[in-house]
Structure 1
């Protein structure tokens, strides 16, 4: 029985048009026990989406329909599967106040949530880390090398864990090695543990959970989980709860990577 707590929906601008009901029917086919829909929360209104296609998150106008549809689905399938209404919230360096306000407004409506880093800041400009391999190559140039990108990502991630985002701050940290999405094209020679150990220490100290994300396995330049199994094992040693997430953006994506992760770590 699969518990999957990181799933997207047709409300995602960079996802698919697969209906939420199709997701549920596929989840039942895969013998899911529980599912969290965690759509990308709206970005702060004063923040300009740095992704080239401006498609990182759903807009504010979609929130009422998203909540209403999920409430109906949740009730209808209550006897078949536990459905959680959630959001994946972006931590954006410099927008903590606005993010806290978003959480104060939407947090009371949620059953689940994830805090993730997708955007990096450099000299007052922002860049979308995981948009494409070509954009990642451009970011490497802007930051002055791959190591600088890694340093910026993990520094931002660490700050997100310690940030004060109010009582509705998500307690699960998303895909902590997302910076390695394109690692087969841009291999880094420094051991990833040197970056992730401080992250694990901080997560442990806060009593948070980690998203054990299977999506990297289907990314041709990654072919690994976020985080890799070795890091997941280190998390387990620290008694950090690991929660599987398919990070599906299509119905077909449900369950992705699940067969490759170590189930004993869940």
Structure 2
């Protein structure tokens, strides 16, 4: 079985570290990975204002080609040591599907492997980056009327992302479907949302998509669980949904983090 980390960020990430591509790659080789995918945050639609306080959610459009070219160079440099794939983490933002599809149509031919994720929720008339901080999550709670309302809105958007028409280069892997749980120890939900989660899993199965097994939540002090958690991963495995490990590393030392915990699901 191929040992693969398929959710990795890079020095291009505005909210990550400046660890070099080579540091990530050498870490992967050291840990025995045979394949990695760089999935940098793709530029947000030009008509969408990044709601993150520092507006650092994604790379700029002018960085896309340098990012792709750098990975192309590294593929050749390391071709005898490890498989390196070019990817993006694409944000699904309701109402901005057309611009997202235009981006994918332009750059999709250069990509090997990508992820479709939800980070932004429209809470009343304001967009919130819900995983930015406990404070931004609290604002989402205030605007929607409750913790459960934020969770439900998040799951609704994940389902919508899976169903969305984004063209032939739409990512086939769905990212961190329980990201709403990032601050669960401070803002615990009152419901399990099992019906919404099952609906998401069935839609992933029906579309023939993959699921991101994302260990970043284990490194978050107010979460301490995988996105999605082990119970959901068991359901996904029962449905025979392809499960793909992703460390969601934003610094080289995080690459491959907690891989042993998900080995049984691969």
- Normalization by structure 2: what TM-score? 0.97
What's the counterpart of residue 201 of structure 1? Answer: 202
Rounded to whole Å, the distance in 1 between the matches of 2:221 and 2:193 is 19
Q: Residues 175-220 of structure 1, C-alpha deviation per residue, up to 9 Å, x if partnerless?
A: 0000000111111121142331110011011110000001111111
Q: Residues of 1 paired with 2:139 and 2:81: CA distance? A: 46
CA distance in 2, matches of 1:154, 1:166: 22
Partners of 1:122 and 1:184 in 2: CA distance: 22
Gaps of 5+ in 1: none
- What is the TM-score normalised by the length of structure 1? 0.97
Task: Tell me the distance in 2 between the aligned counterparts of 1:77 and 1:244.
Answer: 21
What are the ranges of 5 or more consecutive residues in structure 2 without an aligned counterpart? Answer: none
How many positions carry a matched residue from both structures?
A: 265
1:138 and 1:123 map into 2 onto residues whose CA distance is: 11
Query: Which residue of structure 2 lines up, in the alignment, with residue 265 of structure 1?
Result: 265
Q: Is the 8 A contact 1:217 1:256 kept in 2?
A: no
1:73-98 CA-partner distances (Å, limit 9, x unpaired): 01110110010000000000000011
Q: Which runs of 4+ in 1 moved over 6 A?
A: none
Distance, in Å, in 1 between the alignment partners of 2:68 and 2:208 is 28
Please give the alpha-carbon distance, in whole angstroms, between the structure 2 residues aligned to 1:123 and 1:142: 6
Secondary structure of 1:112's counterpart equals coil
Residue 125 of structure 1: CA displacement?
2.5
- For residues 99-134 of structure 1, the C-alpha deviation after alignment (integer angstroms, 9 at most, x for no partner) is 100100110110110000000013342110100111
Q: Secondary structure at the match of 2:259?
A: coil
Cα deviation per residue 1:127-168 (whole Å; 9 max; x = unaligned)?
101001111111111111111101110111101000000000
Matches within 5 A, 1:77-226: 77-226=78-227
